Structure 1
């Protein structure tokens, strides 16, 4: 082989590794550039609003628990997907975020857990508004009212038996030992006080159908116009109904040392337990609007009340879901507008 051919062959063999090395170097530089890009900073959540369900879309149709909140705070916000949560989270530039968590204790609390642990959010200084519709005993509340919880009590976590297997008139519930730390939660009295101070005088919506429906009940509380109040919220997966079950809920509230039972709902105690294990409960609020009574009027049976004939429902649902946001947004807006005073904890009243 001539020296000229040998030189050409050497150049050919050398050229391939050089090109490969150049490609590898470029790819490596590109990878380093991509990997060194700083991840997006997590959203610093000042207030998180939790709703349980929405009827249709988030805006423009019949409103469920989320729509009025969405239209006030997140109409132009992009959804943030969270693996493990029922629905995406929405946030605005002021640090107000919210989501639909799902109905019932397991559904809602699993969504809350997924959101709290997601690195896209910073909940280290967050306040929480657990928001939704509910029932109320006619001796304590009325259709359209809005209530801030002082206590959250789990209706379950105990033993129950049939009334016919009991002495007449005695309770058919016994608390089970071992659940003391998560069967009831006393919410921060200072925060409840602030909520009432900021929202007690909120003008509330009412309807002719709700006014007419209230007159079926003899109780003075049931016949009241909508108001903003406080009391114990009872969380149970069972949609309990009737004077006997209502009496039992009041019995449980008193047994646990809580305030009067005024609201029946299905999520708040479970969501609060999740928040407690990560950030404590000092910044948790439970806000509920009553859309039904927890029992029928004296002229109807419990089953008739549970399955009313057409035109016999309570009415006032649309007004109540609006009332919830009207009341709650006063507190949310105050916290955000005065964040330097609230970021470190609930100010003294």
Structure 2
């Protein structure tokens, strides 16, 4: 998921989105297509997956209503595809004739990684040469990004693996986090720099949509990064089920990124590190990409409290959600289409640029 449901999104938005979805957090109501989905016969020739696009939630149906994280991908690649039910996965998998497959995995680390594991192990698919594009909405610190930004992940860090304690039990101003021994192999992942370089080369000039409401909302923040127009960028994605919020915890997330030798923390989300660990155990991480669009800031502006920002009054929320989910697909599809179109050069691994 994305941080639309998670970590820096106001509670009022979450409630509204849940009512629109008509379901519990992390669950997408079954579409008519999903209801008739059948499991692919084990004896059938498996789908040779070239690119797998993972979204974390959809607000309603896969097409024809308000778009969540999956709808634009579905409408681009799978409107005529038959859903393939995978036992253990939250939602069906869709594949087209070009080997582009995708699914809604569910929000949060356990939900999404359980779906990914079930899909990877299902004999209906051959992932031996697949690339993975993990997508969704997210939050960003106002010192590093703005509403509508689309950011390629360079590092993925698990925010929840370590020791924490109450700030009042610490030296004033010092971080209240310490890494725990034993998590070294899965608390951080560096994504393939060559693959990230390709992604930026192909998508950096993508025209991004914006909205009047997002433009107005940005002006509440003094940071130059927060007030600018949205752009395509790169940086560390911080994965955590914990809904961290406010300048203090944002600073702590940046501290963790530097502690682990990663790039600047620019995106807060809930799934990428966990999904990547599942993929790593089966196929490695050389072909994994993480792409997130910022729909909120991870803290309030200097004139509001953290709680007020988490639960704003009507009309006080950031705009730009609809534009950002569209931006994510516009940016990411450039990479997907390039890989598929030039598959002979990509199937054996990331080619030199």
1:138 to 138, 142, 152: 142
Structure of larger gyration radius? 1
How much does 1:192 deviate?
0.1
Please point out which of 212, 215, 218 is paired with 1:211.
215
User: Which residue does the alignment assign to 1:27?
Assistant: none
Pairing 1:1-349 to 2, within 5 Å after superposition: 39-349=43-353
Partner of 1:18: none
Normalised TM-score (structure 2): 0.88
- Deviation string for 1:260-290 (max 9, x for gaps)? 0000000000000000000000000000000
Give the superposition deviation at 1:239.
1.5
CA deviation after TM superposition for structure 1 residue 88, in Å? 0.3
Partners in 2 of 1:112 and 1:102 — Cα distance? Answer: 10
* Equivalent-residue separation in structure 1 for 2:106 and 2:243 (angstroms): 15
Q: Distance in 2 between matches of 1:69 and 1:52?
A: 12
Task: Specify the SS of the correspondent of 1:234.
Answer: strand
- Give CA-to-partner distance per residue, 1:292-325, whole Å, 9 cap, x none: 0000000000000000100000010000000000
Unaligned runs of at least 5 residues, structure 2: 1-40
Partners in 2 of 1:312 and 1:238 — Cα distance?
A: 24
- Compute the displacement of 1:39 (Å): 2.2
**What corresponds to 1:15 in structure 2?**
none
How many angstroms does 1:40 deviate by? 1.2
For the 8 Å contact 2:42–2:123, the answer to whether it is kept is no
| Offset, 1:222 | 0.2
Match of residue 37 from structure 2 = none
Q: Does the residue aligned with 1:221 lie in a helix, a strand or coil?
A: helix
Deviation at 1:38, TM superposition (A): 9.5
Give the superposition deviation at 1:224.
1.0
CA distance in 2, matches of 1:237, 1:167: 26
Deviations 1:142-199 (A, max 9, x none): 0000000000000011000000011101110000000000000000000000000000
Mark the runs of 5 or more structure 1 residues left unpaired by the alignment. 1-36
Secondary structure of 1:332's counterpart equals helix
Aligned residues: 313
Give the corresponding residue for 1:29.
none
Shift in CA distance, 126/300, structure 1 to aligned 2, threshold 3 Å: same
Secondary structure at the aligned position of 1:139 is classed as coil
- Match of 2:226, SS state, is coil
Q: What is the alpha-carbon distance in structure 1 between the residues aligned to residue 332 and residue 58 of structure 2?
A: 17
Q: Is the 8 A contact 2:203 2:331 kept in 1?
A: yes
TM normalised by structure 1 equals 0.89
Output the CA distance in 1 between the equivalents of 2:175 and 2:161. Answer: 15
RMSD (Å), alpha carbons: 0.9
Shift of 1:258: 0.2
What's the secondary structure of 2:114's corresponding residue?
helix
